[in-house]
Amino acid sequence: MTDLYQGFTQSALGKQVTKLLGLPQPARLDRYAEGGPLVEGTVAVGGRGRLAAELPGILDALGIASTTDTTGDDRFKALVLDATGLTTATELVELRDFFTPLLRRLDRCPRVVVLGTPPEQTTGAERVAQRALEGFTRSLGKEIGRGGTVQLVYVADGAEGAVHSTLAFLLSPKSAYVSGQVVRIGAHGSREAADVADWIRPLQGRVALVTGASRGIGEQIARVLHRDGATVVGVDVPQAASELQALMRELDGDHLVLDITAKDAPHRIARHLTEQHGGVDVVVHNAGITRDKKLANMAEDRWESVIAVNLAAPERITRHLLEEKVVNDNGAIVGVASIAGIAGNVGQTNYAASKAGVIGLVDSLADDLDRGTTINAVAPGFIITQMTAAVPFATREVGQRLNAMAQGGLPVDVAETIAWLASPGSTAVNGNVVRVCGQMMLGA
């Protein structure tokens, strides 16, 4: 699905017109190609804190070139600053001192990551300084332009060795449409990461359940998890059975045809995973529906069907799989929420309630999981799919431009984010809600 406006802005005439009128000029985003390097270029590393000395070695282990020498006029693909050592407001000037000279030396589609200490784990002046990092990174994300992204990663004390998976994702084109986010490592439960034998195929030998897998975002999730080595078990309704079966044959996966709202769905899923695969390592709750209407005109069936599919079914399935210990050690549960569940949306009280409930499910379980299991959510913004293609042109254009990247995302952007959260290297990433929205201007 082509973004016609973006194509126009790349033409000679389009560049002139958009510059003259002050219109958005969305950059073409770098996205990961299978077999490619995580980072094409060099990462400049700076700062003083708990991770500073280890960062070059961590990046080297990921196959990413880095340097602490920022003199001269070399260009960089990414910048990483360890700000865990900032303990007072006056020390925040170190953010300016590091970034200001380097921002004009960044290649297109650059990546910026700031590492901090979770404010809730600090006190006094240090808490003030660490909380200030959020305003800094979110503002820089809206300034950086050229398809760049900026993230803040709060690393709990003792979780320094668990940052590999998160840096691999945030510094690579896999995070093309993720910006202005705050990620916490080691904030809930485990502060260690499971071993990853192959960073190219981190899900090798793992079994991944994906609901709503036959098309759209679900199909891309299945494809990316398969690319990363997982055996995918796709689930979808009987009406989508042929598409589901064809996709799973292509991916050498498995399938289960059922309605996830059925009373026996949790039991059937658990039995299938246990008997056919010996359990499951990754559970992705992607299946979802919309039945939009303003609340004054909302019929009961519109409300109940959306809550049933988007929230009640994922909750029932998750709790059953956990209670029956179908989820293996170091397993990952990922819910697909929505920016609507954070910021709300006209005509979507039912949908927004269901997606905010998905975030609530993460909150309710994050501190109670054991055996290295994690639960996180992704919250997509405007993702270009067949569904959004049916939205009226003017509404669609506004929706695509109201973010720092001035464009819609692709289903693969959601899939890449889920693959990061599903990785065994992300077992210290728990209880997070990560927006895949190009850093929306509203609700961000």
Marked catalytic residue, from 5, 154, 177, 351 = 351
- Check if the beta carbon of residue 81 is closer than 8 Å to that of residue 96: no
Alpha helix (H) residue ranges in 100-153: 124-143
Q: What b/e string do you get for 412-424 counting C-beta neighbours within 10 Å, with b at 16 or more?
A: bbbbbbbbbbbbb
Spatial CA neighbour of 329 closest among 370, 359, 285: 370
- Check if the beta carbon of residue 218 is closer than 8 Å to that of residue 287: yes
How many angstroms separate the CA atoms of 393 and 238, rounded?
Answer: 32
The type of residue at 155 is V
- Check if the beta carbon of residue 141 is closer than 8 Å to that of residue 150: yes
Cα atoms in the 13 Å half-sphere on the side-chain side of 130? 24
Query: What are the residues facing 333 on neighbouring strands?
Result: 283, 375
Tokens matching residue 337? 């929420």
Q: Report the greatest alpha carbon distance in the chain.
A: 65
- Any catalytic annotation for residue 154? no
- Residues with active-site annotation: 351
